[in-house]
Amino acid sequence: MNNEELINSLQKDFDIALTEKIPAEEIRNKLAENINHLIIHDFNKLVSLLYRVDVNEAKLKHLLKENPGSDAGNIIADLIIERQLQKIKSRNENRQENNITDEDKW
């Protein structure tokens, strides 16, 4: 996992303080804590953030329904991290494709 890029995107989107040398589990825990706060105090902001991050709504509803006793913050945090990592991977792949020389392009 590319922690630096993930941390930067989470700090930007969720306004949480994370250090660069933070373990992945702690990233998840802090994000889940922030999400639980939003669930209680500003649900509309959470919905807006989930939309902006492009979390799969059907998958989220399914996981919440299938895990009624689980902490919703953890479930949502996992989906956000998964989506952010997908975006990071996609950006990195696009950067690599753009570095192809003219001779190698067809």
Helix (H), strand (E) at residue 68: none
At residue 78, the pLDDT reads 96
* Amino acid letter, 2: N
Per the domain annotation, does 78 fall within a domain? Answer: yes
At residue 74, the pLDDT reads 96
Number of structural domains the chain divides into: 1
Per the domain annotation, does 94 fall within a domain? Answer: no
| pLDDT of the chain, 106 residues: tens digit per residue | 467 888 888 888 887 888 778 888 899 999 999 999 999 999 999 999 999 999 999 999 999 999 999 999 999 999 999 999 999 898 888 877 666 666 655 5
Host domain of residue 31: 3-88
Global pTM reads: 0.83
- How many angstroms separate the Cα of 105 from the Cα of each of 38, 73, 93, 102? 47, 45, 15, 5
Per the domain annotation, does 98 fall within a domain? Answer: no
What distance in Å separates the CA atoms of residue 6 and residue 2, rounded to the nearest whole number?
6
- What contacts 71, CB < 8 A, 6 or more positions away? 32, 36
Per the domain annotation, does 11 fall within a domain? Answer: yes
Per the domain annotation, does 105 fall within a domain? Answer: no
